[in-house]
Amino acid sequence: MALNFIKKNDKHNNTNWCKLFLSALIPCILGIFTIIFTVQQQVLSQQQHEIDRQNQRDAQRETAFNAYINDISNLLLNTNHTNKTNFFLYIRTKTLTVLRSLNPERKKYIILFLYESGLLQGTGLDLSGAELDNVELIGPYKLDGLYLPSTSWENALIVNCSLKKAVFRQSRMPNARFINSLLESALFTETILDNAYFIKTSVVGINFISASLIHANFLDAEVVQGIDFTNADLLYAQFTEKQWLGQRVSTNAHSFRYARLPNGSFGDLSPTRNLLQNGDAEQKCSTLEEINWEESQVTNGLNIIKFNKTSVVDMNIDNGTWGNCTFVMTTRNARASQYIDLRLYSRLIDMDNAMFSSSTYIGCNGSTNAPYVEISTYELNGNIMETPVYLNHTENTANKVGMMHQYSIQKYRLLKYTHRARVTLGIRLSQPNNIYCYFDNVTFAMQKRFN
């Protein structure tokens, strides 16, 4: 009896526990359901809010787009455009402002509208600084002469477009894709085109001078011919052998001067090419013509004279060696300079792979150490790079009066980011009276430090 009582009591307790658990479970389930429902409602509300916000933003973009089109259309119809400067400035300001607020699709239609209106063909409207990232031009579109220099157009997609003589100079176009398009005589000078693809596209006569084409892919291009890759960065770029040699059609060959090639080496560089204009005084063999040298300190301090003139006195000069003319300085403290633009060598220079050599011949009709040739180097912004260097006498005839003596500096390393050099011919204040000094065959040549 006792055992049966205990069993009945256990069953009763188990039943009570089950009832208690069920009574507690139902509110928990209801609570969890309420929480889930509330969270779902909040998510749906946030999603709806985001949709409403996007719709509102899209409506604002559409309003801005329509207002811009109407404004510029009325301007084109109702203005005689007598003040071209203000006319183009107004359109530039309006365009750059509206582009910042539009999505890529509407930006595309802004570009097409301006082009069809004749405003984006190099006629005066400059959209430098425009933001065109992710804009897709999927044609067919005939956009020959399209003028968009110095823009930001990352991830550009250009499909079935004719872009003959288009200008994208100094633009940012990484990851650009050109598909089934025609690029002929287009200008991509100093343009960033890293990771660009050229697919079924004719790339003919393009100016890629100083462009960055790292990892660019030309393998599927239709034609690659007559390209100027001077000073371009082609590191890891891909070409077929025929594309690289430019043998697809019979036009001009490619130029790879000073370029960094896909394997990291550098293109052709003539170590004897003189970058100075009229360094031998032969091009302007007359005192009545410009002589390509900028004078300072003393006016008319540098002149060109012919050797057969009696003013070339007490000098043992062989005309067969020195040509018909020479530079002459007759005044103390005279200086004449010529600047050399080195930007075409920026790949070499900025990779710390550039040096220069310079030489000249100097002779005086009396004993003096006053003449000199000075070389200064500068950054692109005009800041001087380092202390000027001077050409040194290279022969053992320094004390012989009346002879032309060679002065030179050889294989001098250029600092990184040097973009300009200045060569100066000068006479110090210590020059005695009635002493004339002659300069001839002045040269400045670039060289590679290593291949």
Q: What is the pLDDT of residue 5?
A: 46
Q: What is the pLDDT of residue 120?
A: 95
Q: Which helix (H) or strand (E) holds 410?
A: strand 405-413
Q: What is the pLDDT of residue 403?
A: 76
Strand partners, 445: 357
Which residues of the chain fall short of a pLDDT of 70? 1-25, 45, 48-50, 52, 55, 79, 247-251, 284, 286-290, 297-301, 306-322, 395-402, 451
pLDDT, tens digit (0-9, with 9 covering 90-100), for 179-227: 999 999 999 999 999 999 999 999 999 999 999 999 999 999 999 999 9
Total-model pTM: 0.80
Q: What is the pLDDT of residue 311?
A: 47
Other Cβ atoms closer than 10 A to 367 = 10
Q: What is the pLDDT of residue 90?
A: 93
Going along the chain from its start, the domains and CATH numbers come out as 59-118 (no CATH), 128-268 (2.160.20), 294-448 (2.60.120.260)
Q: What is the pLDDT of residue 323?
A: 72
Degrees to nearest 5, angle at CA 135 with 189 and 193: 30
- CA 422 to each of CA 88, 278, 358, 379, 392: distance values in angstroms, whole numbers, following the listed order: 38, 14, 12, 12, 17
Q: What is the pLDDT of residue 157?
A: 97
Q: What is the pLDDT of residue 209?
A: 97
Q: What is the pLDDT of residue 10?
A: 56
- CA 211 to each of CA 145, 159, 184, 260: distance values in angstroms, whole numbers, following the listed order: 19, 22, 16, 11
CA torsion 406-411-416-417 (nearest 10°) is: 40
Q: What is the pLDDT of residue 3?
A: 47
Rg (CA), the chain: 37
Q: Single out the residue of 89, 105, 97, 94 nearest to residue 72, CA to CA.
A: 94
Q: What is the pLDDT of residue 25?
A: 63
- CA 121 to each of CA 30, 67, 125, 143, 172: distance values in angstroms, whole numbers, following the listed order: 69, 23, 8, 9, 19
